Each structure stands twice: as structure tokens, then as C-alpha cells.
Amino acid sequence: MNGWVKHSAVGATGTTTFVNGPSPAPLGNGSVEFYCPDKKFIRLKNDKYVGTLVSVITELSYSTYIQKRDSTVDNIFVVLQIDIDADGIVDYPLVFTPCYQTGHFITGLAPDQGATKIKTWQTWDLLKGVWWKGSGADPDNGGLLFTWASFIKQFPKATIMDNIPTGPGSIRLGGGSPVFSGVFVGNADKFKIGINGLTTTYDFEGM
């Protein structure tokens, strides 16, 4: 697991499973599959990077594949729990959502990474994309989008944090949420995180 742990919201019936495919996977032969039938969060979390300054992250990306969804916006997303003022307490989560990386959402802010697609592997560059504050409204309902660089400029002491070891995790890949529509099945692979230029790549494989 290399630091990754499965975690589900209370009452969630979805599953997070390591599988072979969908082929061709971005790295190796497999991926992690998220099956979300009930609009409740299921996650793969990692607390290995607790205490890491956001400003020293030099690479952050992952790949997704959507097998089934009932809404054009549903996809696997990334959440970072952030302490903005170095007091050791999580202030709010930062959320990277693939559906906001295209069209009017990124105009004047970031390069267009394209609309999400069905049955196609897509790679998302989180440092070149836009983020939103997970404790507030999402961008479809008035939540503000901002770039990684602008966030660091505003909060240079911002740090990855997790207050509760048994909680949802300081870094997580997530599927499902109250805004998801119907059943979602999707996969993630090749999660990359670079710290001061040294990049670790996580290759999720079937058992």
C-alpha cells in the first residue's frame, strides 16, 4: 500500500478495490477502482506527507478513467487537508476536481486540460489547474476557483495536515459525494507527488 489506506464515510456502501486494467493502464497493468452507488464518499488516503509545506511541492498529478457515471461532472477528485497558518490545525480542505479544468471555469486563470471523457484515460496536472475551498460552496454554486501559485502567494506557510489519524486523510483520492448523480465507477492510477524536485510515483496494481 506504500502509505495508502482505504477509508469510507459512515454508511457508505461503495468499495475501493485494486484491479487489473482498464487497459492500457497509464503505469503497469492495473489501477484502483472506485465503485460509488450511494453518493457517499469512499477514499484512498495517505498521511505520509503530513507537515509538508505546500510551497515545496514541485509536481502533483494523477490519471483517471471513468467506466460509468450518470452526470458529466462526476470523476475521481483530489483533496488536501491544509493548515494555512502553521498552528498545527487543519483550516480547510483544498479540492481539485477534473470537471472544473476546462471551459469558462479556467478562463484567465489556467490552461484548459479538457473535458472529462468516458472510457478514456486522462492525466490531470494539479499544479497547473484550479482548486476550490472544500469547506464552502463548490464552483457551480458560487465557490471561488484559484490557482496553486496564487494560493501559495497568499498563504506561504500553508502545510499539509491531518488532525485525526482515523479521519479521511491529509491527501486523498476520492469518489462519491452528495452532488454525484446515480452510480459512479471509475479508476485512478499513476499518482505523482514531487517534493523539492524529487518525485514519487504511485503505481496502483491489481492483486
pLDDT tier, 180 (very low <50, low <70, confident <90, very high otherwise): confident
- 181 pLDDT band (50/70/90 cuts)? confident
Kindly report which listed range (9-13, 29-33, 152-156, 165-169) carries the lowest average pLDDT score. 165-169
Radius of gyration of the chain (CA): 16
Mean pLDDT of 108-120: 97
The torsion angle over the Cα atoms of residues 65, 70, 72 and 78, rounded to 10 degrees, is -50
- 4-202: CATH topology is Jelly Rolls (2.60.120)
- How many whole angstroms separate alpha carbon 65 and alpha carbon 191? 13
Is 165 a residue whose pLDDT tops 90? no
Q: How many CB atoms lie within 10 A of CB 149?
A: 12
Quote the pTM value: 0.95
- How far is it, in rounded angstroms, from Cα 94 to Cα 132? 6
User: Which DSSP helix (H) or strand (E) runs through 153?
Assistant: helix 148-154
Nearest to 129 by CA among 120, 116, 117: 116
Rounded Cα distance between 185 and 42, Å, is 11
Average confidence (pLDDT) over 165-177 = 87
Contacts of 104 (CB under 8 A, 6+ apart): none
Domain locations in the chain? 4-202
Q: What is the pLDDT of residues 15-51, one digit of tens each?
A: 999 999 999 999 999 999 999 999 899 999 999 999 9
